[in-house]
Amino acid sequence: MIRVEAPGKLNLALRVGSKRMDGYHPLNIVFQAVSVYDVLEAENAPEGVFELSVSGPQAHLVPTDDSNLAIKAARLLAGPGHGVRMRIAKEIPVTGGMAGGSADAAAALVACNELWGLGLGHLELLSLGKELGADVPFVVFGGTALGVDRGDELTEVPSRGRFHWALAFSDSELSTPAVFSEFDSLCPGSFEPPAVPQALLDALAAGDVYALADALQNDLQESALRLKPNLRSLMESRKLIGALAALVSGSGPTVAFLMRDEDAAQRAVTGLRALPGVRDAMAVYGPVAGAEIV
């Protein structure tokens, strides 16, 4: 049996351009992998058998048929004689803007590569990840990275030390296509994505949490807030819990609060759990490694 941990991600900067003819929005993103994990276990099964079970607080929201990205990843790698049974223990929120489905796909790529002795290298797994989804390569990559185009062309970003976050998980989901559609209505016209702030890159390189708080940016945030207005009041709780900044993670609805240190993040979790509309809260840190065998 092979066991793989795959982290969730935060977008420290998410700059969005107008929709292209291929239906995608060009992006400039700074990703950070953080210490909330989905754990996938894989074992051999008879040829052509691809089975998946899921556990965790939102397991009922996760499909276990061929539409699941983990099964798609396994089928992408499978050759004659291959089959797999996979179990996923989910901790990353479902449709929460933290790449939960992409994490499962990345974990399946790493697990099946090892299980079947395929010998694929890191770059080959990154390339295969692009076929599955725009966020999958980053979950394989891990750490802190700049993503361009669909977000799947990656370059490592220097990041010093650890940054601590308190995450508030919403009690309902938010559709990524709906958020992008709202963005299109708010920002009509044809335009390229703005560059990520140099101040953010400098803050990461210096390990300066206060400078990072001033530089966080998410072009999809206003769209998410319009579709889910209670997120606005959640973000306004920033001062109440002592956060330096609040940011909608990706397309939402998870809200990430940047904290001064680990103790502050742990204290913030208690306050966040008491707020309306919050399913759960968690203290995490980043950057962490990408999907890896444990």
* Residues involved in catalysis: 9, 135
Could you please report the per-residue DSSP string of the chain? -EEEEEEEEEEEEEEE----TTSPPPEEEEEEEEEEEEEEEEEE-STT-EEEEEESTTGGGS--STTSHHHHHHHHH--TT--EEEEEE--SPTTSSS-HHHHHHHHHHHHHHHHTT----HHHHHHHHHHH-TTHHHHHHBSEEEEEETTTEEEE----S-EEEEEEEESS---HHHHHHHHHHHS-S--PPPPPPHHHHHHHHHT-HHHHHHH-EETTHHHHHHHSTHHHHHHTTHHHHT-SEEEE-TTSS-EEEEESSHHHHHHHHHHHHTSTTEEEEEEEEE--B-SEE-
**Can you tell me which residue has the tokens 């959640």?**
234
User: Is 105:256 a contact under the CB 8 Å cutoff?
Assistant: no
Q: In what order do the strands lie in the sheet containing 278-286?
A: 245-248, 255-259, 163-170, 278-286
Nearest residue to 224 (alpha-carbon basis) of 243, 249, 189, 246? 249
